[in-house]
Amino acid sequence: MNQAALHRLMTSKRWKKSENSPEDLFQLRLSTNLSLISSLFFSLYPKEKNELFFYQLLNRMEELFSNRSKELKSLDLERLQDGNWYQSERLVGMQLYVDRFNKNIKGLYEKLPYFDELGVNFLHLMPITTRPSGENDGGYAVNSYYEIDSKYGTKKEFSAFTKQARKENMVLMLDFVVNHTSDEFEWAKKAKGGDEKYQNYYYTYPDRQIPDAFEKTMPEIFPESAPGSFTYNKEMGKWVMTCFNTYQWDLNYTNPEVFIEMLANLVRLANMGVDVIRFDALAFLWKKIGTDSQNLPEAHHLISLFRMCLQVIAPGVILLAEAIVAPRNIIKYFGEGPLKGNECEVAYNASLMALLWNSIATKKTSLLHKSLLEIPSKPVDGSWINYIRCHDDIGLGYDDDFIRAIGWSPSEHRSFLLDYYSRGLEWSPAKGLMFMYNPKNGDGRITGSAASLLGLEEALEQKDIRKIDQAISKILMLHGIILSYGGIPLIYAGDEFGTLNDYSFTKDSDHKNDSRWVNRPMQDWKTIEKLPTTENHTSQIFKGLKKMIQLRKKLSVFADKQPAIIHPSPNEHVFLFERTDGKSKVWVISNFDEAPQFLEVGWLFSIGISFGREPKDLITKKELLLDEGRLKLNPYQHMWVALD
């Protein structure tokens, strides 16, 4: 049973019961979730030894609820009454680094009109809390979960920002770096000082015996810059687990105290006025010798336990799963079996993202179709974050069986994609970099901005107008897909006007070992100022995107109530899906080829596009015309088709 549905029921205006106070409702939510909370807790922490911790947890939850502000408590209830608000077609998101966007929180506040102009009303702010001063993985090495780093501003400024943002109906998402802290976090400092209690908050070992056993089956995340999964800490005289960078210490969730303390940190973050919490790197939360220590059943229990407790304390706050894992594993973060609907409400659609990049390189949509049709669908109450680029690399997370099924070799195919995007393949227009190439197995990932990966950088260098136009079409086509697919589209700041790669990271000693910084540019306000008056690639992209955003918000078929219906087209270059709200329909058609492509009118009729009913492209407002009984699609053309 989806617990959120029960909480919604309890706040429904249709239930004519006497008014409950927020405290009564807290108690009601607690009783509703208690059986799940206890079974999840004791599945991770056996009852014989941990009963006391369970009572500690319950007391902590009451305390955390009482610390939540009145204003947020009433917002929680409003959100519950709104139902699945996160599935609305009216949401359009942007992800940004506050300092790179406009210096600091104050600067961000000043730019609220910019979001409004573009139609963005959902913001993912990258970490803004304190972090080590040198390398810090873009803030994903946290010194605190709620103290704002002075380079961004003060708590007061942040609170002024959230208040104003809320007034303007802006939804706010922040990260909860749940898997690890920095090596400067207060617990890490105490551990280094010899405090055993805090050494047990992490996976620490006096010798290599257990680390060696773990490393036999644990894949390396950053093989170039941080090989292995353990780091020796001299001060402590012990090895500590560090799956990511050497300065990011993995939290030991086999210790129930860690869970209780981290729940408190999660609520403190939510109390900053956050609507969506991005559960960072959540696939890694539970480690077990002999496994790859990713996506383990215990990790799912732990996430659901966080979810069930947070739902009692702050029921308006939802969770986003940052699980950049194999397609079949991503789906599991919505919750499976008894946990269905009780894990994360939203997940990154990393599969769609990676498949779109595959279709750009191959100019074919066969792998895209096969994967989308065969991956089990998400639950109806869940939703996606759809994106083409973010601050991270593009991992080639395809299902090998699907690659084989269409007749390609998985390793050769991945190697081709690395050549196409980051090894300068001769005919490829893409300009990207390699990320974390592992010569031991040939694995690698791709970095680069959307525009550079889609050929705009090369086209501008060559001053080739045809290529520039093609790159613009590709940029708009991919954004058109994420705006219409179903879920919250998340635009990466800078992509809205085709920002190119930023190579300056190679000169920065804290960034030069991490090529993801090539796609973390400073927001270029000079160019933005000129957008209304210039006619070039930047303004074409911005205007094209803005138009689609405005249109998306008017089309109820784009709310994520019913999933996209994929129609595998007989033309292997064309991607076609249908969206419906039960009443009207829109067909989204994209040509992934650099040559014109055609669709037979008979086939279009078979999927409902009847030319007798004057089909129209809603983006250009033009009627669809036939060319000798076929619909012609120009290179990289993208349409939202509706019937009269």
| Sheet containing strand 626-627, strands side by side | 597-600, 630-633, 626-627
The region of 136-144, 182-190, 378-386, 575-583 touching ligand GLC under the rule CB under 6 A is 136-144
Nearer residue to ligand GLC within complex by CB, 394 or 549: 394
Q: H or E stretch including 491?
A: strand 488-492
CB proximity list for 104: less than 8 A, separation 6 or greater: 98, 151, 152, 153, 157
Q: d(Cα 375, Cα 327) in Å, to the nearest integer?
A: 7
Pairing of strands 230-233, 238-241: antiparallel
- CB 323, min distance to ligand GLC, A: 9
The region of 18-26, 137-145, 379-387, 505-513 touching ligand GLC under the rule CB under 6 A is 137-145
Nearer residue to ligand GLC within complex by CB, 96 or 631: 96
CB neighbours (10 Å) of residue 531?
Answer: 18
The region of 133-141, 251-259, 260-268, 410-418 touching ligand GLC under the rule CB under 6 A is 133-141
The region of 132-140, 266-274, 450-458, 581-589 touching ligand GLC under the rule CB under 6 A is 132-140
- CB 630, min distance to ligand GLC, A: 44
Nearer residue to ligand GLC within complex by CB, 134 or 582: 134
- CB 244, min distance to ligand GLC, A: 4
The region of 134-142, 207-215, 404-412, 440-448 touching ligand GLC under the rule CB under 6 A is 134-142
Nearer residue to ligand GLC within complex by CB, 298 or 392: 392
Angstrom distances, CA of residue 312 to CA of 7, 39, 74, 273, 287: 9, 16, 14, 17, 27
280 is catalytic: yes
For the chain, the 3-state helix, strand and coil shares in percent, each to the nearest 5, are 45, 15, 40
- Of the residues 122, 158, 244, 497, which one makes contact with ligand GLC according to CB under 6 A: 244
Coil, helix or strand at residue 638: strand
Per-residue interface string for the shown chain with ligand GLC, residues 295-324, x marking contact by CB under 6 A = ---------------------------x--
Q: H or E stretch including 630?
A: strand 630-633
401 is catalytic: no
User: Number of residues in contact with ligand GLC, rule: CB under 6 A?
Assistant: 10
Nearer residue to ligand GLC within complex by CB, 152 or 247: 247
- CB 493, min distance to ligand GLC, A: 15
- CB 392, min distance to ligand GLC, A: 5
Per-residue interface string for the shown chain with ligand GLC, residues 256-285, x marking contact by CB under 6 A = ------------------------xx----
Nearer residue to ligand GLC within complex by CB, 177 or 576: 177
Q: Which of the residues 280, 458, 496, 593 is marked catalytic?
A: 280
- Of the residues 117, 220, 392, 594, which one makes contact with ligand GLC according to CB under 6 A: 392
- CB 447, min distance to ligand GLC, A: 11
Could you tell me how many residues make up the chain? 644
According to the binding rule CB under 6 A, does residue 140 interact with ligand GLC?
yes
Angstrom distances, CA of residue 526 to CA of 98, 100, 150, 534: 17, 14, 26, 12
CB 581 within 8 A of CB 554: no
Looking at the DSSP bridge assignments, the partners of residue 95 are 124, 492
Q: Is 477 left (phi over 0), alpha (psi -120 to 50) or beta?
A: alpha
According to the binding rule CB under 6 A, does residue 173 interact with ligand GLC?
no
What distance lies between CA 166 and its chain's CA centroid? 22
Q: d(Cα 378, Cα 381) in Å, to the nearest integer?
A: 8
CB 125 within 8 A of CB 173: yes
Q: Where in 329-368 is the site for ligand GLC (CB under 6 A)? A: none
Q: Which of the residues 250, 322, 496, 593 is marked catalytic?
A: 322
- Of the residues 177, 236, 346, 361, which one makes contact with ligand GLC according to CB under 6 A: 177
Nearer residue to ligand GLC within complex by CB, 89 or 393: 393
- CB 173, min distance to ligand GLC, A: 13
Handedness of CA 166, 260, 213, 293 (dihedral sign): negative
CB 400 within 8 A of CB 413: no
Looking at the DSSP bridge assignments, the partners of residue 589 are 576, 639
Nearer residue to ligand GLC within complex by CB, 38 or 329: 329
Q: d(Cα 454, Cα 274) in Å, to the nearest integer?
A: 34
According to the binding rule CB under 6 A, does residue 137 interact with ligand GLC?
yes
Angstrom distances, CA of residue 389 to CA of 152, 356, 452, 498: 24, 11, 11, 12
Q: Read out DSSP for 303-357?
A: HHHHHHHHHHH-TT-EEEE---S-HHHHGGGG--GGGTTSS-SEEE-HHHHHHHH
- CB 276, min distance to ligand GLC, A: 15
- CB 559, min distance to ligand GLC, A: 27
CB proximity list for 527: less than 8 A, separation 6 or greater: 497, 538
Q: d(Cα 633, Cα 593) in Å, to the nearest integer?
A: 9
Q: H or E stretch including 204?
A: strand 204-205
The region of 17-25, 135-143, 337-345, 619-627 touching ligand GLC under the rule CB under 6 A is 135-143
- CB 391, min distance to ligand GLC, A: 6
Nearer residue to ligand GLC within complex by CB, 140 or 492: 140
Q: Where in 507-546 is the site for ligand GLC (CB under 6 A)? A: none
What are 568's two structure tokens? Answer: 């595998």
- CB 242, min distance to ligand GLC, A: 11
Nearer residue to ligand GLC within complex by CB, 333 or 575: 333
Nearer residue to ligand GLC within complex by CB, 327 or 341: 327
Position with the least CB separation from ligand GLC = 140
CB 391 within 8 A of CB 97: yes
Q: H or E stretch including 233?
A: strand 230-233
Which residues here bind ligand GLC, judged by CB under 6 A?
Answer: 137-138, 140, 177, 244, 280-281, 322, 391-392
| Catalytic residue positions, numbered | 280, 322
